[in-house]
Structure 1
Amino acid sequence: MQRYLSFVLLLSLLSGCSVFKPQPRNIFMEEMTTSPSYKISERIIPLSEPLLGLPYVDGGLGEGPNGQFDRDPLSRFDLFDCTTFVETVLAGAMSYSPSEFEHNLIKLRYQHGNVGFITRNHFTSADWIPNNQWALRDITQDIALDHTAFAETLIDKPAWYQAMQQDRLQGLPDSIDKTARLKTLHKAGKNLPKIYVRTPYVPLTALNQPEVLDRIPSGSVISMVRPNYDVSQWIGTHLNITHQAFAIRKQGKLFLRHASLRYKKVVDEGFVEYFSQYDKTSTLKGFNVQQPIEQALVVGH
């Protein structure tokens, strides 16, 4: 799709004529508002289909035009990172109008739906998953059964904030003193708690059993687990989760649909094929599974 959009734009520039350029947002919104299904998990595939091929860009979304630290837009449909892709599609699957979409997106991305850098669900294991149990249910142990493992670590939020540099401030006008604004951000982070997290996951070794794959529902959110992953020298803290995707079934086969750093775009990859690239020496040890709660569909539908 991205190559097609670039080609249409090029034709427009060369000819000087007005050319219709299809926008991912229009396709996404049309599918969201007209989908015949009321089941959230069934809406994941058709809603995310038009987004395949769109570019991966890290950190493309922020607090909007009035943001204190990041004035990137609250939503966009032309680029994604792994989590904003999951949030956008999941919010769309829960909604039947643009206003419902905006409400659900903000509620998924921010604690209690309060827009702000401090209240954003930055850490998947410490923020995003626990704060979104109104919309998701952790079924990891139902998938792995006796093979369930747990990743434990301490998310050091104060150290993460202190490690931030000025490039973390996005979209601020030149009239704002960025040095002072960064100091404000550092000060805000000092009072945040360190959070101990214990994340259940399906070990990669369990994928040798076909019944494990059979128990993973299409439309579920898959989070890649690296237990106690030490990236503190770069970002000030350890992590448990480093990537997110959707599990989808097509013609009886399980795939991962995700905004991929490796391919720099939204892609489908075979589920088993994706994980087979990681051997026992890798820091990636398994994945967490979150299933959308159908009751989370907005009132009125």
Structure 2
Amino acid sequence: MTGRFDMAHRRDVLRLLFNGAVFAAGGGAAALASGPAWARPTAVRPPKLPGLIETSRAFPDISERIAAISQGLLGTRYRGHTLIGSPKTSEEFVSREDAFDCVTFCETVLAAALSARPEDFVPALRMIRYHDGIVTYYARNHYFHEWCARNIANGLCREVELPGMVTIEKTVTWHREFEPRHFTMRVIPANSVLDHHAMLKNGDIAGFVTRRASLDYFHTGFVMFGRNGKSKGELLLRHAAESRRRVIDEPMARFLRANRVRYVTVLRPRDPAASTATSKI
């Protein structure tokens, strides 16, 4: 009986990934049919993620798995506003691999890298995106500062410290549905990221602090070295770029300069064996 259930569960997960979107917490097929057009995949195609999860198991270190999985998604188109939910409508759990914004790209790759098998992907993604994995609009990590804090608290990531770190204060009001929130943020000057890049690893998650007074961060992506993501070469940012409308590799120095970045936060994903949160995934 258990074996039949496991096989059925595996087929269900792969079917949902094949459809390009996963809708849970009251969603399912009805949500897939009724969701907004911009949140539905435009075509059904064989999924990449299950195969990327399986092949990346050959790499013992999570940084190598992130490099391999994210490389397999280079060129995927950019699309914003793919998550479904609001203060007035029910939150639907969404997973898709046919289009990303900067945050959903990082969430998807990290969840895949944490997964020992394709069936582990959905619960991992829920833990990353939502506080305690609870799928509601108010439990979603809307501000990237809270995304970082919660994914450190649950053991999935740790903060990377570089020379010159400073503390800044911000009161954010970008999401008008929430009361103003005050954040105390430990950040790295952009020049220190470049000067001390040898202290970084493939797969580190970089968050870029915005100059807007009402918001914390404006973008995120993965640190990579070298065009193939494997060698200590040029420092790159692998990210879902709105300006280029797809997932790309871009020289980190160029990105920092073009966007007048002053401060960066860097997190390092932890291997599941080192994480206290693995029992939740």
Please indicate, yes or no, whether the TM-score normalized by the shorter chain is above 0.5. yes
The normalised TM-score by structure 1 is 0.68
Q: Is the 8 A contact 1:220 1:289 kept in 2?
A: yes
Could you say what secondary structure the match of 2:100 adopts? Answer: coil
Summarize deviations over 1:81-137 as a string: whole Å, max 9, x none: 000000000000000223211001000000110001111001001x20111112110
- AA aligned to 2:247 is V
Match of 1:224 among 208, 216, 219: 208
Matching of residue 256 in structure 1 with residue 237 in structure 2 = yes
2:176 to 143, 157, 160: 160
Secondary structure of residue in 2 paired with 1:118: helix
Does 2:220 match 1:203?
no
* Aligned twin of 2:199: 215
Judge conservation of contact 2:240–2:247 (CA < 8 Å) in 1.
yes
Alignment correspondent of 2:167:
150
State the match for 1:27 in structure 2. 48
Q: Choose the corresponding residue for 1:128, options 147, 152, 177.
A: 147
List per-residue Cα deviations over 1:264-284 (Å, max 9, x = no partner). Answer: 111100112221224xxx4x3
Q: Which residue identity is paired with 2:78?
A: Y
Partner of 2:100 in structure 1?
A: 80
Structure 1: runs of 5 or more not aligned: 1-20, 162-188, 231-237
3-state secondary structure, aligned to 2:97: coil
Deviations 1:4-33 (Å, cap 9, x if unpaired)? xxxxxxxxxxxxxxxxx994x622211202
Letter in 2 for 1:214: A
Separation in 2 of the partners of 1:109 and 1:101? Answer: 12
Q: Given that residues 194 and 253 in structure 2 are in contact (C-alpha distance below 8 angstroms), is that contact kept between their aligned partners in structure 1?
A: no
Partner of 1:37: helix, strand, or coil? coil
Per-residue CA distance 1:221-243 (angstroms, 9 max, x = gap) = 0000125x23xxxxxxx112111
Distance 1:60 1:208, change over 3 A: closer
Counterparts of 1:107-126 in structure 2, within 5 Å, are 107-125=127-145
Q: Is the 8 A contact 1:28 1:48 kept in 2?
A: no
Q: Tell me the residue number matched to 1:271.
A: 252
Alignment match, 1:94: 114
Q: Indicate the residue corresponding to 2:264 in structure 1.
A: 287
Partner secondary structure for residue 119 of structure 2 = helix
Number of residues paired by the alignment? 227
Moved over 6 A (4+): none
Task: Identify the residue that residue 166 of structure 1 maps to in structure 2.
Answer: none
- Contact map agreement 1:219 1:246 (CA 8 A) in 2: yes
Give me the whole-angstrom Cα distance separating, in 2, the residues matched to 1:106 and 1:62.
14
- Name the amino acid aligned to 2:232: G
Percent identity for Structure 1 against Structure 2: 26
Q: Over alpha carbons, which structure has the higher Rg?
A: 1
* Unpaired segments ≥5 residues, structure 2: 1-42
Contact persistence 1:248–1:255 (CA under 8 A): yes
SS of aligned partner of 2:78: coil
Which residue of 1 is the match for residue 34 of structure 2? none
Cα deviation for residue 45 of structure 1 reads: 1.1
Q: Distance in 1 between matches of 2:98 and 2:90?
A: 18
